[in-house]
Amino acid sequence: MIDMKGKVAVILGVANKRSIAYSIAERLAAAGATLVLCYQSERLKREAEDLLASLGQTGTARAIQMDVSEDAQIDAAFAEIAAAFPVIHTVVHSVAFAPADAIKNDFLLTKRADFALAHDVSVYSLIAVARAAAPLMTEGGSLLTLTYFGSQVVFPNYNVMGVAKAALEATVRYLAASLGPKNIRVNAISAGPIKTLAARGIGDFATILDKVTERAPLHRNVEQVEVGNTALFLSSELASGITGEITYVDCGFNITGI
Ligand code: NAD
Ligand code: 0WE
């Protein structure tokens, strides 16, 4: 069993119980970690507090607002975290956004502003969060983000998010090099398609899930808890030699040619 007792995990991107970040929170909590759940907006405050309670997180655990598109909110959130915890050990970045039009329309029509927003929220935020978190990770630690295979090959409609995920994966490698001397490891999990809020409204999502069942070596889709388990491993001492890596948790879909 992986023991995370005495470790503090800061988790960004929990919107509801279906969020990949919620599953990660669940596994880290079960291993004994103390959680800080960060939510995007005031509207999600109550939900985040309820989710903390449902995870049995009492005492020092807390929910804090952090819209990653605002430097001031990142700074304020980490100031609050620093006031509550002298040391943090794990940060999970499970955040992405692109305007709906940009992941629906022809890629050729991608607007400058939509490209910038997608990269700001989905990529730059990892750098900003890493910079704010690093001074608190004085015992070394782990930074984790979520990516998708659409960074490597074309999926219809993934569009600017695919470009942003390619940049995110490169960012993982550059951050790993930058933070390695502080013994902070930086990795990504490339998850297979999962029906979450971020997948809702994506037209042919059911088709994507069916194709995975047909083609993936395990002939099924991945479950949230499998991503949570891998996140727990990568956050733990068991993964002390792994940094700058993209770990696929996709039932093997990415290795198939046809
Ligand atoms: P989700 O909608 O539950 O999570 C996305 C989160 O991003 C939400 O909590 C939302 O509040 C947050 N967010 C968006 N803009 C933000 C901002 N400005 N500041 C702070 N938070 C912001 O969906 P999910 O599927 O759990 O997505 C989590 C991550 O997993 C994303 O990076 C996504 O690209 C990635 N991913 C998802 C899948 C999938 O099929 N669901 C597959 C691979 C990777
Ligand atoms: O990264 C994602 C989706 C992230 C996402 C989702 C939305 C929907 C609502 C980012 N921005 C928005 N903006 C919105 O307005 N995934 C990996 C899930 C996903 O999205 C796809 C996929 C998969 C898988 C889009 C097309 C094809 C496959």
Domain of residue 165, CATH code? 3.40.50.720
| 145 close to 175: Cβ distance less than 8 angstroms | no
Q: Which of 95, 153, 202 gets mutated to test ligand 1 (max ligand atoms within 8 A of its CB)?
A: 95
Is the pLDDT confidence value at 246 over 90? yes
Measured in Å, residue 119 CA sits from the centre of ligand 1 at 13
At 183-229, the pLDDT tens digits run 999 999 999 999 999 888 787 899 999 999 999 999 999 999 999 99
pLDDT band at 159 (very low <50, low <70, confident <90, very high): very high
| Structural domain count, the chain | 1
> How many Cβ atoms from other residues are within 10 Å of residue 53's Cβ?
12
- 67, 94, 124, 189: residue to mutate for ligand 1 pocket, most atoms within 8 A of CB: 94
Does a structural domain hold residue 258? Answer: no
Distance CA(32)–CA(50), nearest Å, equals 19
Q: Mean pLDDT across the chain, nearest whole number?
A: 97
- CA-wise closest residue to 27 among 115, 92, 104, 102: 92
Q: Is residue 227 part of a domain?
A: yes
Instruction: Kindly state whether residue 24 falls inside one of the protein's structural domains.
Output: yes
Q: pLDDT value at position 249?
A: 99
Residue 225 confidence (pLDDT) = 97
Percent of the chain exceeding pLDDT 70 equals 100
SS3 state of residue 163: helix
Does the residue 31 lie in any domain? yes
Q: Is residue 3 domain-resident? A: no
CB-CB contact of 68 with 95 (8 Å): yes
Q: Pick the ligand that lies closest to the CA of residue 25.
A: 1
- For ligand 2, atom 27, name the residue with the nearest CA: 158
CA 204 to ligand 2 centroid distance, Å: 11
Residue 194 lies in a domain: yes
**Catalytic residue numbers?**
148, 158
Rounded average pLDDT over 58-77: 96
Query: Which ligand has an atom closest to residue 129 CA?
Result: 1
Q: Which atom of ligand 1 is nearest to the CA of 73?
A: 19
Beta strands, E only, the chain = 8-12, 34-39, 62-65, 90-93, 141-147, 184-191, 246-249
Tell me the mean pLDDT in the region 160-166.
98
Residue 1 lies in a domain: no
**What tens digit of pLDDT does each residue of 19-64 get?**
999 999 999 999 999 999 999 999 999 999 999 999 999 889 999 9
State yes or no: pLDDT of 12 exceeds 90: yes
Query: Probe ligand 2: pick from 161, 168, 205, max atoms within 8 Å of CB?
Result: 161
Question: pLDDT at residue 136 above 80?
Answer: yes
199 alpha-carbon distance from chain centroid: 14
209 Cα to the center of ligand 2, angstroms? 13
Kindly state whether residue 209 falls inside one of the protein's structural domains: yes
Instruction: Find out whether 231 and 242 touch, Cβ atoms under 8 Å.
Output: no
Residues within 6 Å of ligand 1 by CB: 13-15, 19-21, 40, 67-69, 94-97, 121, 146-148, 191, 193-194, 196-199
User: What range does the domain containing 159 cover?
Assistant: 8-250
Residues with CB under 6 Å of ligand 2 are: 96-98, 100, 103, 148, 155, 157-158, 161, 193, 198-199, 201-202, 208
Q: Cα angle at 115 between 111 and 117, to 5 degrees? A: 115
